[in-house]
Amino acid sequence: SGVDTGTSANEDYDATDDYYSPTIERIPRATGGDITTDGDYTIHTFTENGTFEPDSEFDVEYLVVAGGSGGGGKRGGGGGAGGYRTASGFGVTAQEYGIIVGSGGAGKTGVGAGSDGDDSVFDTITSDGGGGGGDDSIAGRDGGSGGGGFEGDVDFQPGEGTVGQGHDGGAVAGASHGGSGGGGASEVGGTVTSNKYAGPGGDGTAFYGTVYAGGGGGGAND
């Protein structure tokens, strides 16, 4: 009998000592967040601040969504969605990456704009918090997606969304006494189109079947 020097799949041949050894493909791993699997993918989900720590160098796909904002006060515009950013092929190495999860902003009680959402951060990637909705005394605020405005005797314009992260709040279009919708990841907020009508929030965007970063609807009264 002899030694077959033609290696099979997944093995290496040592010609000096005439033996075969298996070729082991190392699976990259990381710690941090709530870890689940889906087929060949490992998913790290962060719902609070934390650390993502790979054990080696590899590429990841990320989704970073900031906190949505609160709606405005009296007949207020809807809150803008938090900024939405995603990409694949982002290289990581064996080190700690800080994760900041932005909180949502509070809706306004009484008169005034809703509170902005907080930014979310993964390494150098920052998604801007949503812009608070305006009301019948103040314009919508800028943010990842802009807060809705107000259409009345005096118009208050919607906030602007950050390019590449979201959209503007809904336009005010000559109707009366209603708040427009907050912007969403996929589209601008809904417009106030008739008297005492509130605009709907802009749609969010689906990421592997789950929709994120939808805008809030505006408010109106009888």
Predicted pLDDT of residue 173: 75
Predicted pLDDT of residue 112: 92
Predicted pLDDT of residue 3: 43
Predicted pLDDT of residue 7: 46
Distance CA 73, CA 189 (A): 17
Distance CA 176, CA 96 (A): 52
Q: pLDDT (tens digit, 0 to 9) for every residue of the chain, 222 residues total?
A: 344 444 455 555 455 655 555 555 667 799 999 999 999 899 999 999 999 999 999 999 999 999 999 999 988 999 999 999 999 999 999 999 999 999 999 999 888 999 999 999 999 999 999 999 999 889 999 999 999 998 877 788 999 999 999 999 998 877 678 899 999 999 999 998 888 889 999 999 999 999 999 999 999 876
Predicted pLDDT of residue 81: 98
Distance CA 210, CA 91 (A): 24
Bridge-based pairing state of the strands 50-54 and 11-14: unpaired
Predicted pLDDT of residue 5: 46
Predicted pLDDT of residue 56: 94
pTM: 0.85
- 75 is written with which tokens? 């007949």
Predicted pLDDT of residue 1: 38
Predicted pLDDT of residue 200: 96
